[in-house]
Amino acid sequence: MKLWQKDTNTDKLIENFTVGQDREMDVFLAPHDVLGSMAHITMLETIGLLEKSELDILLQELKSIYENISLGKFVIESDVEDVHSQIEVLLTRKLGDIGKKIHSGRSRNDQVLLDMKLFTRDSIEDIAHSSNNLFDLLSELSDKYKDHLLPGYTHLQLAMPSSFGLWLGAYAESLADDMLVLQSSYRIANKNPLGSAAGYGSSFPLNRTLTTELLGFEDLNYNVVYAQMGRGKTEYVVACALSSIANTVGRLAMDVCLYMNQNFGFITFPDNLTTGSSIMPHKKNPDVFELIRARCNQIKTLPQEILNITSNLPSGYHRDLQQIKESFIPVFGQLESCLELMQYMLKHIQVKNDLLNDEKYIYLFSVERVNELVLSGIPFRDAYKQVGSEIADKTFSPPTKLNHTHEGSIGNLMTQNIRTMMKKNLSGFNFEVKNSAIKALLK
């Protein structure tokens, strides 16, 4: 069954090609399609396109379908094209002609638009929560290891003293900034396209403000042509935000792989969290972190993929946009697994103590020696040359005490300030608005 079916049967080869993976992807959209239909028919009753008794019957049956979806009992039948068709089939089987009335004033195009936005909103909330869980752990570890010194590098060459607290806190703050990017994408996704129909509106007096309120959207996509053009653009902007988080997590994974290397030897993990070699008995491989790194790199390619699909499309709907679903819908689960595994692994991190006591790290303290001389009254450039000479003639003697106290330095990590920033950034999503609206719709 197809919502656009008339009297002609589609060639099977054409049907299989055009449907693609819609049935598989649309299972993720099923609960959102039901919610959209509930809001839409509630609005239709207010403008006289449904009787109150018909609305009550339809809402009751849609809630039943929603419950079956929640229980994993919903399937898209093999002869049904997509989730929108399947739900209409179920309603019509149970309610007869009343079930056929839910499509008035709607196009399958704005159903997909709406479903994708509702799915994206919820998925962003899941990512925000998972990011916050990792953030909390990084902040906790930053406090725990604030006094454990670590070599700092520039150009992968020894540079200056760092600490495990400083290192872990850097990634915590990176995630806090990532939430601002994600919040911006959420606000774009959190606009109601319903009522744009095929992209040119409807002659019915649709109350789009009402469906916006019923579904807990922040605002409307006002212009109906732009609402259609928003498909692809919304996914692109969200993919960029997910890419930002993936970049943070992937870069942390790379650091871990490096620091586990025996030539660095800064950290290790329990044997049961690493893998071995088929021929080298001594190996402890960081496979989890390598896979996190690879998957995060894959996620970072998604914005370009979406841009490539949409870059030469004129305004209006085009079937090209269907292809985006196949990469976009699964990406949330992929990133969430990376966030969860990173958190799980870091709970078991084992940090090496007294690293900088090793003589090979002596020159990490060269800047400390320069600063000592500056504080004694020697101009910086002269102090720099003097320490350079000491290093060259092997007379350099490192200071025994670090004095980093400014904001964000080894001795003043500002962890609580970073926590406050993260809390503020998360509060800006206002997830409770959409969640309360959906709860009221299902009541």
* Catalytic machinery residues: 155, 277
Tell me the one-letter amino acid at 19.
V
Helix/strand/coil (H, E, C) string of the chain?
CCCCCCCCCCCHHHHHHHHCCHHHHHHHHHHHHHHHHHHHHHHHHHCCCCCHHHHHHHHHHHHHHHHHHHCCCCCCCCCCCCHHHHHHHHHHHHHHHHHHHHHCCCCHHHHHHHHHHHHHHHHHHHHHHHHHHHHHHHHHHHHHCCCCEEEEEECCEEEEEEEHHHHHHHHHHHHHHHHHHHHHHHHHHCEECCCCCCCCCCCCCCCHHHHHHHCCCCEECCCHHHHHHHHHHHHHHHHHHHHHHHHHHHHHHHHHHHHHCCCCCCEECCHHHCECCCCCCCCCECHHHHHHHHHHHHHCCHHHHHHHHHCCCCCCCCHHHHHHHHHHHHHHHHHHHHHHHHHHHHCCCEECCCHHHCHHHHHHHHHHHHHHHHHCCCCHHHHHHHHHHHHHCCCCCCCCCCCCCCCCECCECCHHHHHHHHHHHHHCCCHHHHHHHHHHHHC
Token readout for 333 is 């689960």
How far is residue 374 CA from its own chain's centroid?
A: 47
Measuring CA to CA, how many Å separate 286 from each of 262, 269, 351?
A: 12, 9, 15
Measured from the Cβ of residue 27, the count of other Cβ atoms closer than 10 Å reads 17
Asked whether the beta carbons of 193 and 221 are under 8 A apart, the reply is yes
